Chain A
Amino acid sequence: MHNPKQPTNIDQSRRSFLKGTAAALTGTALPGVLYVDAAIANTDAIHHIANRAVKGASALAPSAGKKTISILIPGGSGGNLTPFLEEWKTLTGLAVDLIEVPNTELYSKAMQEAVAKTGQYDLIIGPVFALPDFTEAGLAKDLDLYVERYQPELDHGAYRIPYPFSEFGCKYDGGYRALYADADNWALYMRKDWMEDPAEQAAFRAKYGRDLTAPDTWEDYDQLIEFFTRPEEGRYGSLEYRAPFYTKWQWMQRFCSKGMLYFDKDMNPLCNSPEGIAALEELIASEAYLPKEAFTNGWSENYNQYGIGNVFSTFSWPSFFRYNNDPAISEAVAGNLLSAPVPGTRIDGELIRASVNAFGWLYVVNEHSAIPELAYLFAQWHTAPDVSDRAIPMNGGYFDPTRTNHFKAPGAAMKEKYTQAWLHAAWDQIGDVIPDFVIRGTFEYSEALDRNCVEAVLGKKSAEEAMNDAAKEMARITRRMGKERQIQSWNSLARTFPEKIKARHGVHTWT
């Protein structure tokens, strides 16, 4: 269900346009300053959401049967939380216990809790694509009442979580089920120093007849990575993911930028459409510009390998920029990273981009917790505009800028870690964000698509065979899950796609 009160990405585009126009008219000399929203930068209102949480928790704490909030967290994410636990305890008298499990096992642990119903964890930090499964399994508590009572301002107000994150990161089937903590869509990262090299610029112009600039389309991008691939010098054009689990996200970006959705109105898979096959063929063709490690790299290997400095570009999460822009970590790349929107496809003169939200973490309150309201209040406090602005830039965590103020009125630490230029570029790309399979059975759909993409990439199947097989498997999963229920869930998710894509499929008319 779509909430009519909630700003859509049309509203957002309109606002961006008006603000952009105002900027052009009144202050072209100060573009960086104009981007900052002074109205939300210096005001007490930024503290209201956290204060409501603290007030609520302080009132409930004395009568609570349990004084410690247990949180199941993915391994390596503690950095965003640990420095704040003492502060929370001072404010409310409640302790917090972090239970860390390996990243890849978090979903399994959470689902086991859904079966066992132990209440061992009061809060779970889970991936966004698991929210439907958590909800359907009776694990994610319905938060409508708490949201009404404590007003976290998730999808409205100056500090809101921008759409579509506020939708697929907080809601399932129209109801609040989570607090989103980590906007995680991909951007294109390139070597600024390589692009600014006059010799490279001249050579590129001579070869392709255009300037060496950030790409608008996939064709532009393919030219760039072809140009910078020089195996004899140990240089490669791209470090795109081709390893299992990750390859589907590369495909999704190319596929959706062709104006496509994963399924049609009746949830018939569209991956075997001509656009789907073409997207996979493009992935296969671009392999020539990738180092061999791209076929086995997971995210951490990818971050590290790019940091060595012999690859021109990659697609990655916000934390990639933060990581590789740190001179202490990556001497070769720090200060030379250029962030740009994911390339798109020009259809009927319109440029369509699709930046996949390829993970993203959120707080889920365990339905079986003995202290669900206190658990919720901790999550509200930790994701509140002011507290999260301090928590996100901490080292050793997974959270990235999510609320409006993180982008438009960042604190000093946030600005230092992400840079104003990156925050500006990331904000501008939010309108192009596409969700992952945020529907029930997420792992099954993802695995079916990913495995077939990988098999085509490895030459075990043609692109057409792979996409036909993926479509068959996905249709079978839908039938088994119950088509009617899946269609309902998909119709909600389809509404969170970028306007240009939705318009081509008439999603607004879907019922």
Chain B
Amino acid sequence: MTETTTQEVPEMAPPPSGLFRRDPNDPGTLPLLLIIPSQVLLMGMMVFPFLLELWISLTNWQPTFGSLWEAEFISYFNYEELILYEPRFLQALGRTLLFAVICLSLEFLLGLGLAILFLKAIPARKLLFSLLLSPMMIMPVVVGYTWFMLFQTNGPINQIIGWISLQGDLPQVEWFRHDATAFASIVVAEVWHWTPLFFLVLLSGLNAVPQNPIRAAVMLGAGPLRIFWSVVLPNLLPVIIIAFVIRSMEILKIFDEIFLMTRGGPGTATEMVSQYLYKLAFQDFRLAYAAAAAFIVLVLTVIGVNLMLRPITRQILREE
């Protein structure tokens, strides 16, 4: 007879929860542990200011009323005031949208035209390429001041118009005195400044379009327009969308050029959202009100960008 002994099984500790449930020998654990500090820091840097800003926007704080910690909680009053009773804010939003649509359309068309032109071998291609890219390397403040000088009543633009005009005399357009001309002047400055970005991005995109479908289309007798519309454009679409997204976010923040050229005037004819926020925050020091306005802009921007990115996200989902 053999004696059997029962081995005592040590009592197991309760399984650790969350991260500590992972087996320390699992090769995925170490990278996770290494990532955590940076993630915590990042979240702290992003989430804390975000929450603080949200809280400020729900108070009536401005420094002339006392310190932030004494500010009265007024719930959604600032938001209600901005949306229902502050036409200047809504006008600035609408104006910014209009400005963005006009500028982005022009920048895209000009950028695309130039990119197509540069696909072919043209004389002094390298030199022209460098020259065309140079505006976007200039500081916005310099661009603003340069165009401010160019659009002066006695400035070179009026001089050129004078030469072109049949009368030959200086027409003295007062660019910054009328709504339409002031708006047009900042559109010109912005388009001049940022068309090179579209040009660069679209040229890269065009160079990356696969050649085989184009050759096939040529062999099948498709004309240039048909090839562009049916072959090139669909391949270029993700690049175009990314260019639009980047520029849209940038154009919402336009400040320097307008500050230097028109200061938002005449009246408020060229006042964009960023000028309006600057006035609220740094002239009137209505910091809570400015925070609420900035939140509204943020929400609208997130919605807008998501809508613009929808074709790309759909494509990614399809591929998955």
Which A residues lie within 8 Å of B65 (CB)? 136
Known: A137-B63, A295-B174, A441-B64. A111 touches B179 (CB 8 A): no
Q: Mark B137-166, 1 if CB is under 8 A from A, else 0.
A: 000000000000000111000000000000
Residue of chain A at shortest CB distance from B64: A136
Q: Mark B61-80, 1 if CB is under 8 A from A, else 0.
A: 00111111000000000000
A508 to B152, CA, bound (A): 49
Q: What is the interface size of chain A, counting residues whose CB is below 8 A from a CB of the partner? A: 25
Known: A133-B64, A292-B174, A447-B279. A455 touches B285 (CB 8 A): no
A460 to B267, CA, bound (A): 9
- Whether A362 is near chain B, meaning CB under 8 Å from some CB there, is no
Q: Mark B162-185, 1 if CB is under 8 A from A, else 0.
A: 000000000010101111000000
By the criterion CB–CB under 8 Å, are B267 and A107 in contact?
no
Known: A451-B268, A458-B178, A460-B179. A244 touches B263 (CB 8 A): yes
A304 CB → nearest B CB, Å: 13
Partner among B63, B64, B263, B267 whose Cβ is within 8 Å of the Cβ of A458: B267
A157 to B283, CA, bound (A): 38
A297 CB → nearest B CB, Å: 11
- Whether A161 is near chain B, meaning CB under 8 Å from some CB there, is no
By the criterion CB–CB under 8 Å, are B282 and A454 in contact?
no
Instruction: Kindly name the residue among B152, B154, B284 whose own CB sees the greatest number of chain A CB atoms within 10 A.
Output: B284
By the criterion CB–CB under 8 Å, are B266 and A460 in contact?
yes
Residue of chain B at shortest CB distance from A115: B63
Partner among A108, A133, A292 whose Cβ is within 8 Å of the Cβ of B172: A292
The A455-485 residues at the B interface (CB cut-off 8 A) are 455, 458, 460
Known: A133-B285, A292-B174. A114 touches B63 (CB 8 A): yes
Residue of chain B at shortest CB distance from A134: B64
Known: A138-B67, A295-B177. A454 touches B265 (CB 8 A): yes
Which B residues lie within 8 Å of A194 (CB)? none
B6 CB → nearest A CB, Å: 73
- Whether A35 is near chain B, meaning CB under 8 Å from some CB there, is no
A293 to B155, CA, bound (A): 12
By the criterion CB–CB under 8 Å, are B267 and A451 in contact?
yes
Partner among B64, B153, B284 whose Cβ is within 8 Å of the Cβ of A293: B153
Known: A244-B263, A455-B267. A443 touches B64 (CB 8 A): no
- Whether A444 is near chain B, meaning CB under 8 Å from some CB there, is yes
- Whether A296 is near chain B, meaning CB under 8 Å from some CB there, is yes
The B252-267 residues at the A interface (CB cut-off 8 A) are 263, 265-267
By the criterion CB–CB under 8 Å, are B153 and A292 in contact?
yes
A114 to B177, CA, bound (A): 37
Instruction: Kindly name the residue among B63, B65, B268 whose own CB sees the greatest number of chain A CB atoms within 10 A.
Output: B63
By the criterion CB–CB under 8 Å, are B174 and A111 in contact?
no
A306 to B215, CA, bound (A): 69
A357 to B267, CA, bound (A): 24
The A121-146 residues at the B interface (CB cut-off 8 A) are 132-133, 136-138
By the criterion CB–CB under 8 Å, are B283 and A108 in contact?
yes
By the criterion CB–CB under 8 Å, are B284 and A444 in contact?
yes
A136 to B70, CA, bound (A): 14
The B170-203 residues at the A interface (CB cut-off 8 A) are 172, 174, 176-179
- Whether A171 is near chain B, meaning CB under 8 Å from some CB there, is no
The A416-454 residues at the B interface (CB cut-off 8 A) are 440-441, 443-444, 447, 451, 454
Which B residues lie within 8 Å of A443 (CB)? 283-284
Which B residues lie within 8 Å of A138 (CB)? 63, 66-67
Which B residues lie within 8 Å of A455 (CB)? 266-267
Which A residues lie within 8 Å of B266 (CB)? 244, 454-455, 458, 460
A444 to B290, CA, bound (A): 14
A169 CB → nearest B CB, Å: 19
Known: A295-B174, A460-B179. A244 touches B265 (CB 8 A): yes
B237 CB → nearest A CB, Å: 42
A454 to B266, CA, bound (A): 8
By the criterion CB–CB under 8 Å, are A454 and B64 in contact?
no
A292 to B154, CA, bound (A): 10
A374 to B144, CA, bound (A): 42
Which A residues lie within 8 Å of B268 (CB)? 451
By the criterion CB–CB under 8 Å, are B267 and A454 in contact?
yes
A138 to B63, CA, bound (A): 8
By the criterion CB–CB under 8 Å, are A111 and B63 in contact?
yes
A172 CB → nearest B CB, Å: 12
A458 to B269, CA, bound (A): 12
Residue of chain A at shortest CB distance from B279: A447
Residue of chain A at shortest CB distance from B282: A108
A22 to B18, CA, bound (A): 96
By the criterion CB–CB under 8 Å, are B279 and A111 in contact?
no
A133 to B176, CA, bound (A): 32
Known: A244-B263, A292-B153, A451-B267. A458 touches B177 (CB 8 A): yes
Instruction: Kindly name the residue among B66, B68, B267 whose own CB sees the greatest number of chain A CB atoms within 10 A.
Output: B267
A244 to B265, CA, bound (A): 8
B205 CB → nearest A CB, Å: 41
Residue of chain B at shortest CB distance from A105: B282
Which A residues lie within 8 Å of B177 (CB)? 292, 295-296, 458
B320 CB → nearest A CB, Å: 48
A9 CB → nearest B CB, Å: 29
B84 CB → nearest A CB, Å: 13
Which A residues lie within 8 Å of B279 (CB)? 447
A110 to B39, CA, bound (A): 36
Known: A137-B64, A138-B67, A447-B279. A111 touches B267 (CB 8 A): no
Known: A295-B174, A296-B176, A454-B267. A440 touches B64 (CB 8 A): yes
Known: A115-B63, A244-B263. A441 touches B174 (CB 8 A): no
A441 to B285, CA, bound (A): 9
Q: Mark A96-125, 1 if CB is under 8 A from B, else 0.
A: 000000000001100100110000000000
B212 CB → nearest A CB, Å: 58
Which A residues lie within 8 Å of B285 (CB)? 111, 133, 137
A40 to B271, CA, bound (A): 53
The A282-307 residues at the B interface (CB cut-off 8 A) are 292-293, 295-296
Residue of chain B at shortest CB distance from A136: B64
B69 CB → nearest A CB, Å: 12
By the criterion CB–CB under 8 Å, are B64 and A107 in contact?
no
A373 to B200, CA, bound (A): 59
A458 to B282, CA, bound (A): 27
Which B residues lie within 8 Å of A132 (CB)? 64
Residue of chain A at shortest CB distance from B85: A476
B13 CB → nearest A CB, Å: 51
Which A residues lie within 8 Å of B284 (CB)? 441, 443-444, 447
Which B residues lie within 8 Å of A447 (CB)? 279, 283-284
A425 to B285, CA, bound (A): 39
Residue of chain B at shortest CB distance from A293: B153
A183 CB → nearest B CB, Å: 25
A342 to B154, CA, bound (A): 31
A138 to B70, CA, bound (A): 13
5 A-B contacts, Cβ less than 8 Å apart? A108-B282, A132-B64, A138-B66, A296-B177, A443-B284
Residues of A at the B interface (CB closer than 8 Å) are: 107-108, 111, 114-115, 132-133, 136-138, 244, 292-293, 295-296, 440-441, 443-444, 447, 451, 454-455, 458, 460
The 3 closest A-B pairs by CB, nearest first: A137-B63, A136-B64, A455-B267
A137-B285, A293-B154, A440-B64 given; 9 more Cβ-contact pairs under 8 Å: A107-B283, A111-B282, A133-B63, A138-B66, A244-B265, A244-B266, A292-B153, A292-B177, A441-B284
